[in-house]
C-alpha cells in the first residue's frame, strides 16, 4: 500500500474532535503494528481479547452518543465485499456480470486490515464470497487483525464442500453467523438464482451444517428475498421446511435498484425517487407476510428478536410511505465502513461513489478526506432507505433498535 494518489485531507478539527472524543476500542492496538495476536501464547492471546472486550464495552456509550448525534467517529463495523464474482445468475442482481480483475490479492487485504481500526463486527460478502479460493485465509486475517466480537458471512450456499470445510476448520472462538440465501422451494428458487441446482446445493449446505451448529459455534439463518408475487407464496412453504430443521427464517424485500450491484459504477441513487421496493407485489399479501414474520420473530432470543422486528416494522412503514418512523442518523461512513473488492470505499448500498481506495491510501487519509466529508453531508441529508445490511448498524449504534422492544 502506498500513498501515490493521496486525496486532500480535511483538517478543520471536526474529525479530530470526535475522533478524540470517542477513542477507538483498544486504541493501544491501533498504534501497535503488532496488533495481530497470532504470535502470542494462548494465555496472552486470551488476556488481549478480554482486554479488548472490556475496552469496547467501556467506549460504547460515547460511541453511541456520537452516533446519535450523527458525528464522525472511527468505524466499528466493516462490510467487505470480497468480490463481485458470483456463480449464480440472479434475476434481481447484476453482480455476476461485473468484472473481477481488480479484486484485491490476499497480501493486499492483509495490508488493509492491518491499517484499519479493530471492529466489533466484520461481514464478509460478495458476489459469492466462497468463489474466492483464499476465503478461509481472508477470514483468518479478519479475525487476527480486526479482532471482531462477531463474524457474519453471506452466501448462496452453492459450494457445499468448500463452505462446510471452512466452517469446520476456521478458528471457532469468534461466533459466526452464516446466512444462506434461499428464495423458495426447488424450481422457484432455481429460476430466481439462474441455476438448475441452486436449491439442492443450498439445501445440502444447510443439512451438512445444521446438526453441528453448537460444536462449530455457528448460527445458521436463511434469507428469503421476496422478488415477486410468487415469492410471497413461497413464504409459508419455506417457513414449514425451515421450522423442521430449527433454522431461522428471514425475509427481506428486494429493492428495484442498488448502486452496489449495478453495472453502472460510482452511482448515487436519488433516494427520494429512485429507491423503490419491488412495485408489483400484492400489497395485501405482503402486509400479511410481514405481520406473520413479525409475530414469529417474537419467538427468537432477544438479541435476534429485536433486530428482526425492527427491520420488519420499518419495512412495513416504508411500504406505507411513512419514512419518518425509525429514521435515526444513518451510520454509513460513520460507524459503518464498506470496502469494495478493489479497495474502494463506497458510501453505502445505494451510493457506490468512492471516497478513496485503501489499496492506495491509508485508512486515515480516506476517512478524513474531503470526499468522505462531502459524502457524509449527503448521508445526513438522505431520506433513509431500508436495506437490512444498512439498517442494522444504524439501529444498533444509535440504540434506535430499542424501539422494537414493545
Question: Which residues make Cβ contacts (< 8 Å) with residue 94, sequence separation at least 6?
Answer: 261, 262, 263
Shortest Å, Cβ 158 to ligand SF4: 8
Q: Which of 256, 241, 219 shows the shortest CA–CA distance to 349?
A: 256
Rank residues 112 and 348 by Cβ distance to ligand SF4 and give the closer one.
348
Instruction: Please list, residue by residue across 30-41, b when 16 or more beta carbons sit within 10 angstroms of its beta carbon and e when fewer do.
Output: beeeebbbeeee
Name the residue among 268, 255, 276 with its Cα closest to residue 352: 268
Nearer to ligand SF4 (CB atom), residue 52 or residue 195: 195
Which of 1, 389 has the CB closer to ligand SF4? Answer: 389
Rounded to a whole number of angstroms, the minimum distance from the CB of residue 341 to ligand SF4 is 12
- HEC profile for 237-272? HHHHHHHHHCCEEEEEECECCCCCCCCCCCCECCCC
Angstrom distance (rounded) from CA 115 to CA 109: 10
Nearer to ligand SF4, 7 or 382 (CB): 382
Q: Which is nearer to ligand SF4, 267 or 292 (CB)?
A: 267
Q: How far is the CB of 183 from ligand SF4 (least distance, A)?
A: 9
- Pick 127 or 343: Cβ nearer ligand SF4: 127
Q: Is the Cβ of residue 86 or residue 226 nearer to ligand SF4 in the bound state? A: 86
Q: Which residues lie near ligand SF4 (CB under 6 A)?
A: 86, 88, 90, 93, 95-96, 126-128, 156, 271, 330, 332, 348-351, 379, 382, 384-385, 390
Q: What would the grid cell of residue 183 be?
A: 428464495
Least separation in angstroms between CB 356 and ligand SF4: 17
Residue 277 near residue 318, CB atoms below 8 Å? yes
Contact (CB, 8 A) for 32 and 39? no
Kindly state the smallest distance separating residue 390's Cβ from ligand SF4, in Å: 4
Instruction: Report how far apart, in Å, the C-alpha atoms of 128 and of each of 59, 181, 364, 387 are.
Output: 34, 11, 29, 19
Min dist. Cβ of residue 127 to ligand SF4 (A) = 5
Measure Cα distances from 382 to 222, 270, 273 in Å: 30, 9, 12
User: Which contacts of 367-370 are long-range, i.e. CB under 8 A and separated by 24 or more positions?
Assistant: 367/15, 367/74, 367/75, 368/9, 368/10, 368/11, 368/15, 369/7, 369/8, 369/9, 369/10, 370/7, 370/8, 370/9, 370/10
**Nearest distance from residue 35's CB to ligand SF4, in Å?**
29
Is the CB of 342 or the CB of 351 nearer to ligand SF4?
351
| Residue placing its CB nearer to ligand SF4 in the complex, 29 or 199 | 199
What is the distance between the alpha carbons of residues 49 and 157, in angstroms, rounded to a whole number?
31
Tell me how far, at minimum, the Cβ of 156 lies from ligand SF4, in Å: 4
Q: How far is the CB of 39 from ligand SF4 (least distance, A)?
A: 36
Nearer to ligand SF4 by Cβ, of 55 and 96: the residue is: 96
Nearest approach, Cβ of residue 384 and ligand SF4 (Å): 5
In DSSP notation, 72-115 reads: ----SEEEEE--S--S---TT--GGGS--TTPPPHHHHHHHHHH
Cα-only R_g, the chain: 20
Answer yes or no: are the C-beta atoms of 77 and 335 closer than 8 Å. yes
What CA–CA distance (Å, rounded) separates 120 from 147? 7
Amino acid at each position: 500500500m502506498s500513498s501515490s494518489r493521496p486525496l486532500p485531507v480535511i483538517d478543520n478539527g471536526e474529525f479530530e474532535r470526535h475522533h478524540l472524543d470517542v477513542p477507538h476500542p483498544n486504541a493501544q492496538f491501533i498504534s501497535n503494528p503488532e496488533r495481530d495476536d497470532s504470535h502470542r501464547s494462548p494465555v496472552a492471546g486470551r488476556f488481549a481479547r478480554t482486554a479488548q472486550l472490556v475496552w469496547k464495552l467501556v467506549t460504547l456509550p460515547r460511541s453511541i452518543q456520537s452516533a446519535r448525534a450523527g458525528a464522525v467517529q472511527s468505524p466499528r463495523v466493516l462490510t467487505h465485499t470480497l468480490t463481485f464474482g458470483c456463480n449464480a445468475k440472479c434475476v434481481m442482481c447484476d453482480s455476476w456480470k461485473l468484472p473481477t480483475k481488480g479484486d484485491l490479492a490476499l497480501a493486499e487485504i492483509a495490508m488493509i486490515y492491518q491499517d484499519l481500526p479493530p471492529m466489533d463486527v466484520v461481514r464478509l460478502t460478495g458476489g459469492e464470497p466462497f468463489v474466492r479460493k483464499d476465503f478461509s485465509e481472508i477470514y483468518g486475517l479478519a479475525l487476527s487483525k480486526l479482532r471482531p466480537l462477531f463474524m457474519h458471512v453471506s452466501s448462496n450456499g452453492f459450494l457445499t464442500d468448500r463452505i462446510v470445510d471452512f466452517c469446520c476448520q476456521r478458528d471457532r472462538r469468534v461466533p459466526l453467523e452464516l446466512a444462506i440465501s434461499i428464495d423458495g422451494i426447488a424450481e422457484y428458487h432455481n429460476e430466481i438464482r439462474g441455476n438448475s441446482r441452486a436449491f439442492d446445493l443450498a439445501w445440502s449446505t444447510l443439512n451438512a451444517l445444521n446438526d453441528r451448529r453448537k460444536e462449530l459455534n455457528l448460527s445458521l439463518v436463511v434469507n428469503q428475498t421476496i422478488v415477486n408475487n410468487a415469492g410471497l407464496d413461497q413464504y409459508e412453504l419455506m417457513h414449514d421446511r425451515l421450522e423442521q430443521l430449527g433454522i431461522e427464517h428471514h425475509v427481506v424485500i428486494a429493492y428495484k435498484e442498488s448502486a452496489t450491484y449495478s453495472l453502472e459504477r460510482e452511482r448515487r441513487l436519488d433516494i427520494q425517487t429512485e429507491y423503490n421496493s419491488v412495485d408489483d407485489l400484492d400489497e395485501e399479501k405482503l402486509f400479511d407476510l410481514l405481520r406473520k414474520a413479525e409475530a414469529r420473530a417474537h419467538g427468537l432470543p432477544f438479541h435476534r428478536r429485536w433486530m428482526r422486528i425492527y427491520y420488519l416494522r420499518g419495512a412495513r412503514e416504508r411500504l406505507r410511505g411513512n419514512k419518518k418512523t425509525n429514521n435515526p442518523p444513518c451510520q454509513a461512513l460513520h460507524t459503518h465502513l464498506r470496502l469494495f473488492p478493489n479497495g474502494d470505499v463506497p458510501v453505502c448500498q445505494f451510493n457506490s461513489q468512492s471516497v478513496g481506495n485503501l489499496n492506495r491510501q491509508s485508512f486515515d487519509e480516506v476517512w478524513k478526506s474531503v470526499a468522505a466529508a462531502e459524502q457524509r453531508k449527503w448521508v445526513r441529508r438522505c431520506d433513509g432507505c431500508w436495506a437490512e445490511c444498512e439498517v442494522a448498524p444504524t439501529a444498533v449504534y444509535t440504540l434506535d433498535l430499542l424501539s422494537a422492544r414493545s
